[in-house]
Amino acid sequence: MEVARYFDRVGEALKSVRKEEVSSVLEAIYEAYEKQQTIFIIGNGGSASNATHFAQDLAKGVIPAESNLQRVRAMSLTDNISFITAAANDHGYEKIFEIQLKTHARPGDVLIAISGSGNSRNITRAIQYAKSSKLITVGVTGYDGGEVKRMVHKSLHVPVHEMCTVESIHSVIFHLMVLLLREKITGLPFDEACLVSR
């Protein structure tokens, strides 16, 4: 595949994302911030990496280090390898996120579930638990959205049937939301926020 052709494909994929879905998820994150609730993020494979990156950007990147403003409470459940392997070994891989939510989550918290296919069993179980425990659920998906898109309170869907591109677009959207949150909370202009070194 030629470079230009791939760039065109990524551009078209970005255009396929509904802006109102981005705004709706952003509002859920902002409301959690205002209420000092925790945002939990989960995913498998490349989506696990996106979960880690997004949680770090929310927790560290939204509020400048020198600021006394309240910080965003965000946590990726893909990072505690001891917990994950213990849960998988003792109870099955499909429960690795559900059990962590049982440990850490409280009503009113937000679960952001990233799944390219939307059908990963450990993701759908976590969503089921989160809904039963009165968390706000957000699904970030690709392909046709799978079960996740149908289960969650809020959906952010990339209707593309190719995993690498789906994961790339998810990352772009997450960075956008971090910048928009930073602007909304701190008043730092969007373009200046892009230039802040980390």
> pLDDT tens digits for 4-27?
999 999 999 999 999 999 999 999
Give the mean pLDDT of 72-77: 98
What are 47's two structure tokens? 């989506």
Query: Rounded to the nearest 10 degrees, what angle do helices 19-34 and 163-186 cross at?
Result: 50
pLDDT higher than threshold 80 for residue 125: yes
pLDDT grade for 189, boundaries at 50, 70 and 90: confident
Q: Distance of alpha carbon 188 from its chain centroid, rounded?
A: 23
Domains of the chain, start order: 3-195 (3.40.50.10490)
pLDDT grade for 178, boundaries at 50, 70 and 90: very high
Give the mean pLDDT of 89-103: 98
Q: What is the mean pLDDT of the chain?
A: 95
Strands (DSSP E) contained in 38-192 are 38-42, 73-76, 110-115, 136-141, 154-157
Give pTM, 2 decimals.
Answer: 0.95
pLDDT higher than threshold 60 for residue 196: no
CB burial of residue 119 (10 Å; 0-12, 13-18, 19+): middle
pLDDT grade for 193, boundaries at 50, 70 and 90: low
Instruction: Classify residue 86 as left (phi > 0), alpha (psi -120 to 50) or beta.
Output: alpha
Portion of the chain with pLDDT greater than 70, in percent: 95
